[in-house]
Structure 1
Amino acid sequence: MNAALAGLPYLPLLTGLSVALGCGLLIGIERERRKGSGPQRGFAGVRSVALVCLCGALAQILAAGLVVVGAAMVAALCAISYWRRRPDDPGVTTELAFFLAYLLGVCAVLHPGIAAGAAVVIAGMLNLRQPLHHFARVTLRAGELRDGLILAGAALIVWPLLPDAASDWLLGANPRRLWGVAVVIMGLQGAAHIALRVTSPGLGLAVAGLASGFVSSTATTAAMGQRYRADPTLLGPCVTAALLSNVATYILLLVIALAVAPNMLGHVAPSLGAALLATLVLSAIRLRATNATARHGTPPGRAFSVWQALLFALILSGATGLVAFAHNHFGSAAATAGAILAGLVDAHAAAGSVLSLAASGTLTPPELVLSLLLVISSNTCSKLLAAASGGRAFFVPMAFGLLAILLAAWVPYWLAWR
């Protein structure tokens, strides 16, 4: 017996053998349904895969050297199968699955949970052959694939390399946190793009409003007002889409708070959560009452805008530096005034600046919550001005919704700090 397993009781070994058999049967059943019949059938079905999985488990139990010998034998069988295959089928999926089944049997003795989970993933990938091929070749566009690679590089390559400390050349901002916020924005925009791709056409305008809110809720409100003016029959769907853009606003504010100042999340969460809840309730009421039959066109191939995310990070660092300068030289009142002015242009950047100051200890929690609410209030004024572009019929329901959301955000502050 393998020296590393000599001290184990029989029950774990039997469990490993059972898991190995289950893994082999799971993958083997899927291969059996695809191998065909007759002289041209595939070489591995349910029995072959189950047996090779048990071989791996037994080799692991008996001797470590047998694991290497068994792997060489399985690799040779896979090579012979590929060599004998008809020339019009150059794929190696079955051979790879056969070899993976052997490795799963080896793994099942010491790590049965990992082996079982991996078997489910492998069987799922094998079974989803057609959907995966269709997604890669037809559904996924070249621009979306490029965006996915950019997002992966930004999150997995650039972000870990940035210094996690305040930088003087960024006016005291933290480069890693700023880049993390940019990555989060790109990820949220990508998720909204996917939602817009897969949703039913009847909900297209509402989902478009929600997706656009991750870029700019104010711009979305103005766009929906102009769309209503162009087609007055779309009053309900346009108001619903404009309100749904605020859902993205408050979700993004919560995410920014978590990324920039996680220790302050408990202080700002009540106000942001109340505003988000009010937005969801109002949007659901409007969505239920509206027959959103407006169709939307296919969204553009780009899942997100890298330049918008980088511009946001630059605006955030600039706003943070300016607010910090105002606080250091003129006091907290000047810092709050600067944040309010920044909120007229972009609520997310202004909120990120005050959150950065709170994370560094410059602002106390009450000052942070008050500044954040004033930023939201100033941004609501911008949205009201944008809603006026749609005329009175569009402005009245939007004003009611925006003011109700703003009131919901202020209530927790009045209850907690007053």
Structure 2
Amino acid sequence: MTQLELFLDLGLALAIGLLIGVERGWKTREAEEGGRFAGLRTFGLIGLLGGVWGLIAREVDPLLLGFALLGFTGLMGLGYYLGVQRDRDYGFTTEAAALVAFALGALVQLGYPAAAAAMAVVTVTLLSFKVVVHGWLRRLEPQELNATLQLLLISVVLLPILPDRGYGPWQALNPYIIWWMVVLIAAISLFGYFAVKIAGPDRGILFTSAFGGLAASTAVTLSLARMGRENAELQPLLAAGVLLASSTMFPRLLLVVAAVSPALLPTLLVPVGVMAVVGYAAALLLWRSAARLPARVRLSHPFELATAVKFGAVLALVMLLSVALREWYGDLGVYLLAAASGIADVDAITLSLAGMVPGTLLAGVAAYGIVIAALVNTTVKGLLVVFIAGGSMARRTALAVTAVVLSGMAATLATAPMAG
């Protein structure tokens, strides 16, 4: 390491301490001189101290850094004890920030300057959000906390340990992919719940539908249908959300085809584009016809894990059926395979068929298969709403989905013969 690099790293360690010190000093700016635990200068020195000890540990023995951190922690603990005895203030935030400043200063010298700088910014942001974070905690309800913990359990704990390989007949069942869909449905449901609670039903539902539809429109539909079953006053707006999420599937499908097999794009552009236009128009009409809702609507449950698990079981059955049709009928089963795959998802069959062109599959056959999957998937979304939500949401969604499907069929026939 050159002298310039050494000074730059020590300067960064000092800057990290100063950055944290600015936030801590601003919080206690009204305190008298000597009346606060640590301010701008002290935090700057703490960051520099961490950088110096990181340099010593790197050049002499890494164990020295552990002893230095242990000693500094003891010093912070003594200061905290004296502060509690004097002021009866049990807050430990400033002491914790000092420990972080020391550790980040050392991290710079250990070869991770970018990570240290980024974590310093995150630390200052978190410290400055005290009022906001405490406000969130006060408004957090027990079922919301339980739902968040359940989502973390099934995603962070369970998902990584599942094998990402096929099992069962034809190795068609992949536990990782199936459970990933369960996690996705649960995450979209929880996201939609908080979006509606924070932004209000109008903006929250539409925001969830638009962005959730980019990832998994079927999962969004399932979540909104369940919400509609429990909240009759939201049904007109939820119907618009279903159409918005469903329609977002069509441009996403075209983007996938353009990336994998651009030669298919001209063939699919008309039927898929027509369905997208009709779907977005129906979503707009449903949204404009929906009565304005109050700013706050009582939502009963963030999501139901059992519903997501049932959908995962259905997905597993569809995956098995799809592979079986391909094995039994070969290329003649492409359309049946597309229809079966479209029950749960269009991305997998789209990637599969587009990847076979040119080569083992005619462009027209692949295009027909993709359109069939899109039509079936759109129909399934309508049926989900009809059987789960019912009421005005079912009627509105059924009419709109019928319009989308019929327009797609008409556009497909108008551009025939695609298989040529």
Q: TM-score range by the shorter chain?
A: 0.7 to 0.9
Of 36, 40, 48 in structure 1, the residue corresponding to residue 42 of structure 2 is: 48
SS at match of 2:144: helix
Q: Is 1:130–2:123 an aligned residue pair?
A: no
Q: CA deviation at 1:96?
A: 1.2
2:112 maps to 111
Q: Is the 8 A contact 2:257 2:351 kept in 1?
A: no
2:82 maps to 84
1:25 maps to 18
Do the aligned partners of residues 348 and 151 (structure 1) sit closer, same or farther apart at CA in structure 2, a change above 3 Å counting?
A: farther
My pick for the range that moved more, 103-112 or 324-333, is: 324-333
CA distance in 1 between partners of 2:176 and 2:100 (Å): 39
SS at match of 1:86: helix
- In the alignment, structure 2 segments of 5+ residues that lack a partner are none
SS at match of 2:84: coil
My pick for the range that moved more, 83-92 or 365-374, is: 365-374
> In the TM superposition, what are the counterparts of 1:10-409 in structure 2 within 5 Å?
10-35=3-28, 37-38=31-32, 41-62=35-56, 64=60, 67-68=65-66, 70-86=68-84, 88-109=88-109, 110-135=111-136, 137-168=137-168, 172-203=172-203, 206=206, 214-215=218-219, 217=221, 240-247=240-247, 266-267=260-261, 274=273, 278=277, 281-282=280-281, 286=285, 293-295=292-294, 297-302=297-302, 304-333=303-332, 336-337=335-336, 340=339, 347-349=342-344, 351=346, 354=349, 369-380=367-378, 399-400=402-403, 403-404=406-407
Q: Is the 8 A contact 2:243 2:283 kept in 1?
A: no
Do the aligned partners of residues 49 and 240 (structure 1) sit closer, same or farther apart at CA in structure 2, a change above 3 Å counting?
A: same
Q: Is the 8 A contact 2:186 2:308 kept in 1?
A: yes
Q: Is the 8 A contact 1:320 1:352 kept in 2?
A: no
1:4 maps to none
CA distance in 2 between partners of 1:392 and 1:93 (Å): 54
Q: Is the 8 A contact 1:27 1:101 kept in 2?
A: yes
Q: Is the 8 A contact 1:166 1:175 kept in 2?
A: yes
Equivalent pairs: percent with the same residue?
21
CA distance in 2 between partners of 1:112 and 1:219 (Å): 43
CA distance in 2 between partners of 1:130 and 1:219 (Å): 31
My pick for the range that moved more, 320-329 or 80-89, is: 320-329
Tell me the C-alpha RMSD between the 2 structures. Answer: 4.9
Task: Kindly provide the amino acid, as one letter, of the partner of residue 377 in structure 1.
Answer: L
Do the aligned partners of residues 155 and 68 (structure 1) sit closer, same or farther apart at CA in structure 2, a change above 3 Å counting?
A: closer
Q: Is the 8 A contact 1:264 1:358 kept in 2?
A: no
My pick for the range that moved more, 206-215 or 104-113, is: 206-215
Deviation by residue 1:305-341 (Cα, 9 ceiling, x = unmatched) = 322222122112212323333343345545634753x
Do the aligned partners of residues 403 and 198 (structure 1) sit closer, same or farther apart at CA in structure 2, a change above 3 Å counting?
A: farther
CA distance in 1 between partners of 2:223 and 2:194 (Å): 21
Deviation by residue 1:69-101 (Cα, 9 ceiling, x = unmatched) = 643442232111111123642222111111211
Q: Is the 8 A contact 2:353 2:370 kept in 1?
A: no
Q: Is the 8 A contact 2:275 2:404 kept in 1?
A: no
Q: Is the 8 A contact 2:16 2:44 kept in 1?
A: yes
CA distance in 2 between partners of 1:23 and 1:158 (Å): 37
CA distance in 2 between partners of 1:393 and 1:201 (Å): 18
1:3 maps to none
CA distance in 2 between partners of 1:276 and 1:77 (Å): 67
Deviation by residue 1:280-319 (Cα, 9 ceiling, x = unmatched) = 85368548966862336233332x3322222122112212
Do the aligned partners of residues 288 and 350 (structure 1) sit closer, same or farther apart at CA in structure 2, a change above 3 Å counting?
A: closer
Q: Is the 8 A contact 2:23 2:127 kept in 1?
A: yes
CA distance in 2 between partners of 1:216 and 1:9 (Å): 55
Deviation by residue 1:88-127 (Cα, 9 ceiling, x = unmatched) = 4222211111121112222223332122111111111111
Q: CA deviation at 1:40?
A: 8.9
My pick for the range that moved more, 324-333 or 269-278, is: 269-278
Q: Is the 8 A contact 1:384 1:395 kept in 2?
A: yes
- In the alignment, structure 1 segments of 5+ residues that lack a partner are 1-7
Q: CA deviation at 1:26?
A: 0.9
Q: Is the 8 A contact 1:217 1:242 kept in 2?
A: yes
Q: Is the 8 A contact 2:379 2:405 kept in 1?
A: no
Deviation by residue 1:143-172 (Cα, 9 ceiling, x = unmatched) = 222222222222233223222222116972
Do the aligned partners of residues 219 and 307 (structure 1) sit closer, same or farther apart at CA in structure 2, a change above 3 Å counting?
A: closer
CA distance in 1 between partners of 2:2 and 2:329 (Å): 73
Task: Kindly provide the amino acid, as one letter, of the partner of residue 11 in structure 2.
Answer: S
Q: Is the 8 A contact 2:38 2:94 kept in 1?
A: yes
SS at match of 1:115: helix
Do the aligned partners of residues 324 and 284 (structure 1) sit closer, same or farther apart at CA in structure 2, a change above 3 Å counting?
A: closer
